[in-house]
A and B are shown apart, each in its own frame.
Chain A
């Protein structure tokens, strides 16, 4: 199984998430992660969807099917080495009095993670990185007692010199953010 990152640029309209996800469902492709955000152009949304698939051909077909959705402006499918990608995770770690204190220095310097909130009996640590890095940190911090663990979907940018919005149809004259 190969991981593919599919970047979809769409108009920001109602119900579009459903129109896109049903294309995966119909082909029995499981969505591993999904992130939606507005792009540097106003009114243009960017979906980053990761899937695992063993047939590149099928993924290409899927990409073309997604492009067929009327509100979709452009679709790009990538292998992992073609994109720079990251995820972000939040760990809520129990820190009751009397237990082993967490080692901030290791967390910061070795794992490049940061405490973003100090509660009375817990801390919230933010760790950004790829899946393997986040899981490394997960294993490290687990003995301290994970109260909650949440991880975002992948966000990714292509390793091309141009921005992907350059590929959007010329008619899309969305404003750039300052």
Chain B
């Protein structure tokens, strides 16, 4: 922020405080905050207290004019609230997403009004579609200036309404505790999502008229998602499952969100039903589990996609039949009777009609369902998947892992998977490398694949990686990033360097916007329209930020390169030069049916 603005802002604080001193008998001091008894706090202090009451450990943010009183309050709370200063508000949002997805807690962002808020819109849109709990606190001009086109005034409520789960403008300090309790409840309950708090400057500076008190919320009159499903729903589902000849489970992010990993395992083991994951459901089941058959969707595995066409009962758990999963939805699983376990009632029948909808939390639903389903043996049906695995292995995997020619992305992911024993937390950006990371990493632990699924936000990985590391400091966090994506949030290398979070970044560099190039090759007659990149020297750039790194362009050095990356106890950047025109297969062409999946 430029000096002139800082000065103005400080003057504003000074004058606001002068007014406060006149209005309230006792001026605010730090000791008052700590003292016992009724506490009269400023709105900004109340916000800090509310964040602590909700168990917030870290804030990802960026200060600026309209949020300065809150940053000033934060200065007194640094012993209880960690703050990571990002380089761009988009970074704060994606970092908070990464944090939320490894820690299971809501990510908290703190940014200023106007551009601060609008820069946060992309992560908010990303979080709503990928069901990530965020509490975004955005500064706003004084309430008296609202609607006057004041400096850095944006109608952020208007801007964020279509992309957030809930938003609210706080214009009086008294509102803070109740609104924050509501914000955290809404962000984390039911289908999680981002909430936006538009916090006017006068509400931050002003003193509460009543003593600060915080009460957590466990339900609202207008919003109280059903957690435990109805008995009749569960019974109907069990009936369908028990009578199925070829049942097939499709699970998604909901399993990870509700923490239903053990329940899912117990369920598939009792019923012996094969199960496949969506992109965001990856790592909810260990990849070596005998009932796990692979992942679904546009670049998913061959058998899991094709055999959706043969299942007589589909059990969808915590997934929403995204078009990247269904292909042409009018041709998808038309022969099957569908059980749909889903916490959000609006998802039921949205894309695929469910004969047995089960509205509720995945964990609770599976718990309730388990005693009602019969022990079964579906080994013949499960073996059908293996036939397709053999074909995929021969036609795709073998080719991609073949050690000849230039290094292929798949080799890098595969080797890293072996070196980390499938236990690292993988962050992927968006594009070919994202799909390759999903295909070749052998996930053994839950919450290990973090990527922007629904929105496909390029630039997600660098900030999400350090956010994820913050949420799971004991885990090895490795991000696979394309050369295009890397340059979308490259400035966050500064955040990584400053915070010292030991994240490992791997650029899979093919000097192309690879996925777009692949589509142009396959569906636009190889007319490569603006997809080739003249890239900077990434390692030198990292060095400029104070991050060690090196480039690997020879296959012989790949293993040592990955060792160096993994051994480092500091952030590390490895750039791997990969084959320029590698394509990701299998592939369901856009708009085609999943059975028309291509292997080359």
Contact = CB atoms under 8 A, between A and B. Distances in A.
A42 interface: no
A72 B222 contact: yes
A171 B169 CA distance: 24
Contacts of B161: 15, 18-19, 22
Contacts of A171: 219-221, 224
B544 interface: no
Contacts of A61: 346, 349-350
Contact of A73 (B165, B169, B222): B222
A15 B222 CA distance: 16
Given A10-B222, A22-B162, A171-B221, A70 B157 contact: no
A39 to B, nearest CB: 14
A70 B158 contact: no
B166 interface: yes
A71 B222 contact: yes
Interface string B220-249: 111110000000000000000000000000
A48 to B, nearest CB: 18
Given A22-B162, A61-B346, A65-B346, A11 B222 contact: yes
B165 A14 contact: no
Contact of B220 (A18, A22, A67, A70): A70
A26 interface: yes
A64 B162 contact: no
Contacts of A10: 222
Contacts of A64: 345-346, 348, 350
Contact of A169 (B186, B221, B344): B221
A11 B162 contact: no
A22 B222 CA distance: 19
Contacts of B350: 61, 64
A68 interface: yes
B224 A169 contact: yes
Between A70, A73, A171, the greatest number of chain B beta carbons within 10 A of the residue's beta carbon is seen for: A70
Interface in A32-67: 57, 60-61, 64-65, 67
Contacts of B165: 70
Contacts of A172: 221-222
Interface in A133-178: 169, 171-172
Contacts of A19: 161
Contact of A18 (B158, B169, B219, B345): B158
B215 to A, nearest CB: 16
A112 B158 CA distance: 44
Interface string A1-25: 0000000001100110011001000
Contact of B344 (A22, A57, A68): A68
A15 B162 contact: no
A72 B344 CA distance: 15
A70 B223 contact: yes
B222 A26 contact: no
Contacts, number: 48
B221 A14 contact: no
A61 B320 CA distance: 14
Interface in A56-99: 57, 60-61, 64-65, 67-68, 70-73
Contact of B345 (A14, A15, A67, A72): A67
Nearest to B157: A15
B521 to A, nearest CB: 33
B217 to A, nearest CB: 12
Nearest to B347: A64
Given A61-B349, A64-B345, A68-B346, A11 B221 contact: yes
A19 B186 CA distance: 16
B182 to A, nearest CB: 9
A172 B222 CA distance: 8
Given A26-B162, A64-B345, A65-B346, A14 B169 contact: yes
Contact of A70 (B186, B345, B346, B348): B186
Nearest to A57: B349
Interface string B181-222: 000001000000000000000000000000000000001111
Interface in B140-179: 157-158, 161-162, 165-166, 169
Contacts of B349: 57, 60-61
Contacts of A72: 222
Contacts of A67: 345-346
Nearest to A171: B221
A90 B152 CA distance: 44
Nearest to B185: A70
Nearest to B346: A64
A171 B348 CA distance: 25
A18 B220 CA distance: 21
A128 B158 CA distance: 36
B160 to A, nearest CB: 11
Contacts of B158: 15, 18
A11 B158 CA distance: 19
A170 to B, nearest CB: 8
A11 B346 CA distance: 20
Contacts of A60: 349
Nearest to A15: B157
Contacts of B166: 70
Interface string B371-402: 00000000000000000000000000000000
Nearest to B348: A64
B117 to A, nearest CB: 16
A70 B222 contact: yes
A30 B158 CA distance: 20
B255 to A, nearest CB: 21
Contacts of A68: 344, 346
B59 to A, nearest CB: 24
29 contacts: A10-B222, A11-B221, A11-B222, A14-B169, A15-B157, A15-B158, A15-B161, A18-B161, A19-B161, A22-B162, A26-B162, A60-B349, A61-B346, A61-B349, A67-B346, A68-B346, A70-B166, A70-B186, A70-B220, A71-B223, A72-B222, A73-B222, A169-B221, A171-B219, A171-B220, A171-B221, A171-B224, A172-B221, A172-B222
Nearest 8 CB-CB pairings of A with B? A171-B221, A64-B346, A70-B166, A70-B223, A172-B221, A73-B222, A68-B346, A169-B221
Given A15-B158, A72-B222, A73-B222, 7 more contacts: A19-B161, A67-B346, A70-B223, A71-B223, A169-B221, A171-B220, A171-B224
Interface of A: 10-11, 14-15, 18-19, 22, 26, 57, 60-61, 64-65, 67-68, 70-73, 169, 171-172
